[in-house]
A = this chain, B = another copy of it.
Amino acid sequence: MNEEKRTKILKKMNDVLPRGRWTIFNAMSYTPRAGGKNLRAMLMLEVADDLGVEGILDAAVAVELFHSGTLIHDDMPEIDDATLRRGKKANHLVFGSGMALLAGDGLFFLAFKLMSKYENLFPIFSDVAYDVLVGEAMDVELEDRKDFSENDIYEMYEKKTGALFGFSLSAPAVVVGLKNWKEFERMGRKFGIAFQIYDDIKDFTMSSESVGKDVGKDVNKKTLVKILGFEKAKEVADGIVEDIFNFLRSEKLENAESFLRGSLDLIKRG
């Protein structure tokens, strides 16, 4: 991991997170500061380095704030009812469900505020945010649904987890005006699918303590691991990852490649 980039991200995050005498500001700051890996922001900065793009730090932090907002809402009692996140108490257990709901909303809007500086990114990010939400809603609905296909799971993974990685990988390409930025986006989305598969595998093989969030309680969640079996699902994820590394090499994205290699180890280990 590149500690210099990580420090930049955490400093900027600290600068933009709100302070004041209202609880909402503490609730909004709690989850982004709870010590996540900031993979999405890091990936964007690594690609930016590869492409010689500067001034993208606000967009990278916006992605992390948005992601934290989705985690807060996912963890709420009416959705995943999670107790742990990033090794700490879930937001709603610290601030109450009402304030946590609003803290998630607040992080979304703060992300859009930051993103609004980037005229070329804002419309794409709006689409991405909507995709993430639809993916999350599909995940929730699939729990109780009998009529679904393997493709539904892929679509759910691509939207819920892939859309933000697609944005992180492609945003520097958009800013620098690369014509094939959609290829970058597509690869990022595929990475999200592989990420989700490895995460599912981990949920079934590790303890909550080592992962830092609740595991093994999503008994009704529909996952590719359940549908394809452990071996086949891992094969799919490994295949996707190989495609991505081929792409990164062909585009000479060396920083991104090295970063994603390290990240995959982290993701698999938890």
Residues of A in contact with B (beta carbons under 8 Å apart): 22-24, 73, 76, 78-79, 96-99, 101-102, 104-106, 108-110, 112-113, 115-117, 119, 122-123, 126-127, 129-130, 133-134, 136-138, 140-141
Complex: A86 Cα to B24 Cα, angstroms: 28
In contact, A99 and B22 (Cβ under 8 angstroms): no
Given A23-B141, A98-B140, list of 4 further CB < 8 A pairs?
A79-B101, A105-B108, A110-B130, A119-B119
Complex: A141 Cα to B106 Cα, angstroms: 15
Contacts of A23 on B, CB cut-off 8 Å?
137, 141
Shortest Cβ distance from residue A100 to the other chain B in the assembled complex, whole angstroms: 8
- A137 in complex: contacting residue of B73, B106, B117, B140, CB < 8 Å: B106
Closest residue of B by beta carbon distance from A24: B137
In contact, A101 and B76 (Cβ under 8 angstroms): yes
Shortest Cβ distance from residue A217 to the other chain B in the assembled complex, whole angstroms: 15
Complex: A96 Cα to B108 Cα, angstroms: 22
Shortest Cβ distance from residue A129 to the other chain B in the assembled complex, whole angstroms: 4
- A24 in complex: contacting residue of B109, B123, B129, B134, CB < 8 Å: B134
In contact, A105 and B126 (Cβ under 8 angstroms): no
Chain A interface mostly helix, strand, loop or mixed? helix
Contacts of A130 on B, CB cut-off 8 Å?
106, 109-110, 112-113
Contacts of A108 on B, CB cut-off 8 Å?
105, 108-109
Q: List 16 A-B contacts (CB under 8 A).
A: A22-B141, A24-B133, A73-B101, A73-B102, A73-B105, A78-B101, A98-B140, A106-B137, A109-B126, A110-B130, A113-B130, A116-B122, A116-B126, A117-B123, A119-B119, A122-B122
Contacts of A97 on B, CB cut-off 8 Å?
78
- A123 in complex: contacting residue of B22, B96, B116, CB < 8 Å: B116
Contacts of A136 on B, CB cut-off 8 Å?
102
In contact, A99 and B137 (Cβ under 8 angstroms): yes
- A78 in complex: contacting residue of B96, B113, B116, B127, CB < 8 Å: B96
For the complex of A and B, 10 pairs with smallest distance between CB atoms = A24-B137, A78-B97, A116-B123, A78-B98, A109-B130, A112-B126, A109-B129, A113-B126, A116-B126, A102-B137
Shortest Cβ distance from residue A221 to the other chain B in the assembled complex, whole angstroms: 13
Shortest Cβ distance from residue A97 to the other chain B in the assembled complex, whole angstroms: 4
Complex: A136 Cα to B22 Cα, angstroms: 11
Q: Which among A110, A138, A140 has the highest number of chain B CB atoms within 10 Å?
A: A140
